[in-house]
Amino acid sequence: MATLLRDSGARAQLIDGKAGGQIVDEAARAAASALTLDLGRAPALAVVLVGEDPASQVYVRNKVRRTTAAGLTSIEHRLAADTSREALLALVDQLNRDDAIDGILVQLPLPDHLDATEVVEAIDPHKDVDGLTARSAGALVQGAPGLRPCTPSGCVWLARQALGDLTGKSVVVIGRSILVGKPAALLFLQENCTVTLAHSRTRDLPAVCAEADILIPAVGRPEMVRGDWIKPGATVIDVGINRIDGAGGKPRLVGDACLSEAIEVADFVTPVPGGVGPMTIAMLLANCCAAAAARAGRSRPEALAEILPA
Ligand code: NDP
């Protein structure tokens, strides 16, 4: 646990998401290896990328590299930007019916002419390793078994590494998207936290944030959360990834919290980059192994017991 924490040079310790991602990748590798022996084939993840979005291309390249390194099979489908709705849905259907595929991920965003909700809903919930279908979201609300969204699962795991048992902590999540904010709120609730879900209409957001033992900004506004929004001794798990002009006009990445101020006030802070970001793919690999086990009627691999939320 201690290996994830780094000195920030100020009050807070940094929670190293890159090291965290490696730990979870390693657990996925152990799970994949056990499943390969048991099932006679490695868990398989199919990634569908439509179009040429540069950020998505980089992300998919990383996914493929880490999937293979963890001993899972990676199948990639790269489709032209003008792929029709019918062709994309037909591919998803084909992947749903392919028994050798355990996880399906359609990289978002999709080109404008395609309806992301329709395409995501077409994915077999048993293979929904992004945890974004209505069935997966419903299972999360009910506390029923299912696949949970990757980035919020990564946030919970990092918070547990820093703080241990989260029972009774007050959590403020800023942002209510289906991808991050809402599932994050539900996952922290499942950890027995007392959760506030804030958004653009929340009144006096700084005062709301100042109540949080654990603050999760997931907004997409560079350095919106200032030091005086943070309760002394709190933990900040910063989901935001924002590209801004740095020194000499060189682009640099910052989070939704102002890191230099947060580390003066909080006890634990995830940096951007190198915080929540690297956890997303790691949780995807863990989910794919969990999906492979569940589809084969096996219990969740032992190696994932401490990784995935219940
Ligand atoms: P969305 O744009 O879908 O949602 C943003 C949310 O922030 C909305 O709920 C919105 O509220 C809220 N919001 C906007 N402005 C304010 C404000 N001034 N005060 C309070 N709340 C506000 O973004 P995502 O959830 O998809 O992503 C959020 C951030 O996380 C982005 O920076 C994204 O890049 C990053 N991200 C990082 C990932 C990772 O792997 N680390 C993965 C996914 C996302 P309302 O609903 O009222 O409009």
pLDDT tens digit sequence for 99-111: 999 999 999 999 9
Q: Is residue 32 part of a domain?
A: no
For ligand 1, the distance from its centroid to the CA atom of residue 64, given in whole angstroms, is 26
Domain that holds residue 271: 149-277
Q: Are residues 96 and 180 in the same domain?
A: no
- Which residue positions in the chain have pLDDT lower than 70? 1-2
Please tell me whether residues 153 and 268 are part of one structural domain.
Answer: yes
**How would DSSP label each residue in 113-181?**
TS-HHHHHHTS-GGG-TT--SHHHHHHHHHT-S-PPPHHHHHHHHHHHHHHS--TT-EEEEE---TTTH
Ligand 1 neighbour 218 (Cβ under 6 A) = yes
Are 160 and 271 within one domain? yes
CA of residue 174 to ligand 1 center, whole Å: 8
Select from 127, 157, 175 the last residue of a domain.
Answer: 127
The response to whether residue 66 sits with its C-beta less than 6 Å from ligand 1 reads no
Helix H or strand E encompassing 198: strand 194-198
Residue 273 lies in a domain: yes
174: which strand partners? 198, 217
Per-residue pLDDT tens for 275-307?
Answer: 999 999 999 999 999 999 999 999 999 999 999
Evaluate whether residue 143 is within a structural domain.
no
Contact of 34 with 27, CB cutoff 8 Å: no
Same domain, yes or no: 114 and 153: no
Q: Is the CB of 262 under 6 A from ligand 1?
A: no
| Cα–Cα distance measured from residue 55 to residue 138, given in angstroms and rounded to the nearest whole number | 30
Selected catalytic residue, list 107, 127, 169, 231: 107
**Is position 101 within any domain?**
yes
In-domain check, residue 142? no
Catalytic residue among 25, 63, 127, 128: 63
At 2 the pLDDT is 45
Tell me, in angstroms, the distance from the centre of ligand 1 to residue 31's CA: 32
pTM: 0.97
Q: Specify whether 119 is located in the same domain as 201.
A: no
Given this model, what pLDDT does residue 218 score?
98
91, 157: one domain: no
- Please indicate whether residue 130 is annotated as part of the active site: yes
Let me know if residue 34 belongs to a domain: no
188 and 112 co-located in one domain:
no
Q: Measure the CA angle with vertex 38, ends 37 and 44; round to 5°.
A: 80
pLDDT at 246: 87
181 and 264 share one domain = yes
Residue 4 domain flag? no
Q: Which pLDDT score, from 0 to 100, does residue 247 have?
A: 86
Number of folded domains that form the chain: 2
pLDDT at position 285, please?
Answer: 98
**Within a domain: 11:** no
User: Looking at residue 233, which CATH number applies to its domain?
Assistant: 3.40.50.720
Atom 42 of ligand 1: nearest residue by CA position:
151
Q: Are residues 162 and 92 in the same domain?
A: no
Measured in angstroms, how far is the CA atom of residue 306 from the centroid of ligand 1?
28
